[in-house]
Amino acid sequence: MNFKKSIYKLFHPAWGEVVMLHRVVVERSKLYDNRLMEISPEDLERTIIAYKDKGYLLATLDDVAQYIELQRRPNKKFVCFTLDDGYSDNFEHAYKIFKKHNCPFAVYVSTDFPEYKALLWWYSLETLLLENERIELADGTCFECRSMEEKNKAFRALRLKIFDVKTSDMRYYLTWLFGHYDLNFERLVEKNSLSWSQIKILADESLCTIGSHTVTHAALDCIDTSQTLAELAESKKIIERQIGKPVVHLAYPYGRYTEQVVRQVSQIGYRTAVLANGGYVRRGMSVFKIPRIFVK
């Protein structure tokens, strides 16, 4: 296997990296897995400077698309910065840092974020675990969470449980599952989401590309074909109406997709789609399965 990987890398050298970020925050989360999605403003700036010092090209998503479509390797390695979901700190903290360094970046927006409908269950779950020493679910599952180690372990188990649910109505499922507790989705999303006015300002910034991250941030491999079509097409239409520009770049929520989803992405009119991991961009890759590097 290692020999095969070595041969593959020899004939498919790394062209560059698409960096995946989510939040840029002054104070990071207490639970490990949520903290992984966050970076401080200082660390973001250090990351940009490190790439510049190494001589990387600072690329847009359109640049990356062109490299792959033409199968033309740039003269130098490139880096493309992307942020997922649509958090307000992308505007409040990240924007000024990217602008300071004249660095292109992209924000993939789930339209339920600026509509203040998003279920930020990962943060609701953190609050729940931090405030309780024992969690009892509606299906009878119980978690002891007295220590931080137990809280982190419970979070991972609950996250996997939620990831594997095949439903188009996640709000109903979560409300039922955590029926004994108030998850307070509305307060969290109003506090942490980009507004449409902020998204419009970003869209008018030449350094920024606004992409789609579906409507509800649903795992696209867990819902049926008609629902995935709606998630992909409606988010594109909603964002385009708000910013007055074409939206041709997509990020798969959780990096999850099926081959049918990939065909839909192409048919709807997206130019690229990115994964949640996978490493470097190399020769021969599909524009609808672009890997990313997870920076933590």
State pLDDT tens for residues 190-236: 999 999 999 999 999 999 999 999 999 999 998 999 999 999 999 99
Residue 6 has pLDDT above 70, yes or no: no
What's the rounded Cα separation, in Å, for the pair 260 and 274? 16
Mean pLDDT across the stretch 17-37?
A: 96
pTM score, two decimals? 0.93
DSSP line for 96-114? HHHHHTT--EEEEEPTTTT
210, 211, 214, 219: CA torsion to nearest 10: -130
Q: Are 22 and 108 in contact (CB under 8 A)?
A: no
The confidence score (pLDDT) of residue 4 equals 60
What is each CA distance from 92 to 16, 23, 141, 151, 205, in whole angstroms?
A: 28, 11, 39, 30, 14
Convert the pLDDT of each residue in 103-151 to its tens digit.
Answer: 999 999 999 999 999 999 999 999 999 999 999 999 999 999 999 999 9
- Does position 14 have pLDDT exceeding 90, yes or no? no
Rounded to whole angstroms, the Cα distance separating 284 from 267 reads 21
**How much is the pLDDT for 186?**
85
Write the burial class of residue 163 (CB in 10 Å: 0-12 exposed, 13-18 middle, 19+ buried). exposed
Query: Is-contact 103 48, C-beta < 8 A?
Result: yes
Model confidence pLDDT, tens digit, residues 68-116: 999 988 999 999 999 999 999 999 999 999 999 999 999 999 999 999 9
Q: 201, exposed or middle or buried, with CB in 10 Å at 0-12, 13-18, 19+?
A: middle
Residues 6+ apart with CB under 8 A from 256: 219, 220, 221, 222, 276
Please say whether the beta carbons of 264 and 229 come within 8 A.
Answer: yes
Nearest to 200 by CA among 248, 150, 241, 251: 241
Q: Using alpha carbons only, give the angle 190, 107, 291 rounded to the nearest 5 degrees.
A: 130
Distance from C-alpha of 37 to C-alpha of 24, rounded to nearest angstrom: 9
In the numeric block, the tokens 């109505």 are attached to 169
